[in-house]
């Protein structure tokens, strides 16, 4: 999962980036409203953490522009303001949730997980797919109750596919959602990660759809599928 943080306070921005990175997210950062608007307008994010009091363009204006342009990713607003009118303005502009500074990082992480899973149509952080369990809160995965060892990128890939189980996902989409902006992206590495995941979770759990991408399936419900 890939998150954008738009925050002009360098200490808070660094703290949030480290916390989200440790939680398994790919993270991009912007320190002013113009850069934040551009990234949100041109990159596919699973959620955005948006400060209201930004230089160049304020957070409310950014959010209004995104929503007017059809950007539907979940947005969690951060602000030092605690007036109810500011909260109402944020929600009216299209915010999905709201945190007032100061806040506990664990609460922000919990709210982000909730936004991401709801956007993908899930009600809990744990996803069960025919004996495969992906726990997005703990950042762990299990096969038939036994934990499996995954690298951070392998877990990001598996988590994204689990969030969109049974959907055919292109290599380009996977690259866009498991790497941050500064990472040297190469769609060919997705094939390597898919191969590793198949060895760890079972070759019949990830289906290759020729020319389109990959699909995570319950092997008992969908035993077919082309494997590479």
State whether the Cα torsion 80-86-89-91 is positive or negative.
positive
Neighbour count for residue 25 (Cβ, 10 Å):
26
| 3-state DSSP assignment of residue 82 | coil
Quick one: average pLDDT of 148-169?
Answer: 94
Taking all residues of the chain, what is their mean pLDDT, rounded to a whole number? Answer: 91
| 3-state DSSP assignment of residue 175 | helix
Quick one: average pLDDT of 122-126?
Answer: 93
Q: State both tokens at 177.
A: 């959602």
Q: Please, is 171 exposed, middle or buried when counting C-beta atoms within 10 Å of its C-beta (0-12, 13-18, 19+)?
A: middle
Q: State both tokens at 25.
A: 């997210």
The CA–CA distances, whole Å, from 104 to 19, 101, 107 equal: 11, 9, 5
Neighbour count for residue 197 (Cβ, 10 Å):
23
* DSSP at 169: B
- pLDDT of the residue at 224: 54
| Residue boundaries of the structural domains of the chain | 2-119, 126-216
Name residues whose C-beta falls within 8 Å of residue 195's C-beta, 6 or more positions apart in sequence: none
| 3-state DSSP assignment of residue 81 | coil
User: pLDDT tens-digit profile of 41-60?
Assistant: 999 999 999 999 899 999 99
Let me know if domain 2-119 sits in CATH 3.30.750.24: no
- The fold adopted by the segment(s) 126-216 is Arc Repressor Mutant, subunit A (1.10.10)
User: pLDDT tens-digit profile of 56-92?
Assistant: 999 999 999 999 999 999 999 998 776 778 888 899 9
| 3-state DSSP assignment of residue 217 | coil
């Amino acid at each position: 999962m890939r998150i954008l943080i738009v925050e002009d306070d360098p200490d808070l921005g660094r703290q949030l980036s480290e916390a989200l990175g440790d939680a398994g997210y790919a993270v991009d950062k912007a320190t002013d409203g113009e850069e934040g608007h551009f990234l949100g307008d041109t990159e596919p994010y699973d959620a955005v953490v948006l400060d209201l009091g930004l230089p160049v363009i304020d957070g409310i204006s950014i959010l209004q522009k995104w929503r007017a342009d059809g950007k539907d990713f979940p947005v969690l607003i951060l602000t030092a303001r605690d007036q109810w009118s500011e909260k109402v303005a944020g929600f009216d502009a299209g915010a999905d949730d709201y945190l007032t500074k100061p806040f506990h990082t664990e609460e922000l992480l919990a709210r982000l997980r909730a936004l991401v899973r709801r956007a993908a149509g899930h009600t809990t952080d744990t996803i069960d797919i025919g004996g495969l369990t992906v726990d997005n809160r703990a950042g762990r995965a299990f096969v038939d109750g036994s934990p499996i060892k995954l690298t951070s990128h392998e877990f990001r890939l598996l988590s994204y596919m689990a969030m969109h189980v049974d959907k055919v996902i292109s290599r380009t989409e996977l690259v866009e959602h498991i790497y941050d902006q500064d990472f040297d992206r190469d769609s060919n590495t997705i094939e390597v990660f898919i191969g590793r995941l198949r060895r760890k979770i079972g070759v019949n759990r990830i289906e290759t759809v020729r020319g389109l991408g990959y699909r995570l399936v319950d092997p008992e419900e969908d035993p077919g599928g082309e494997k590479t």
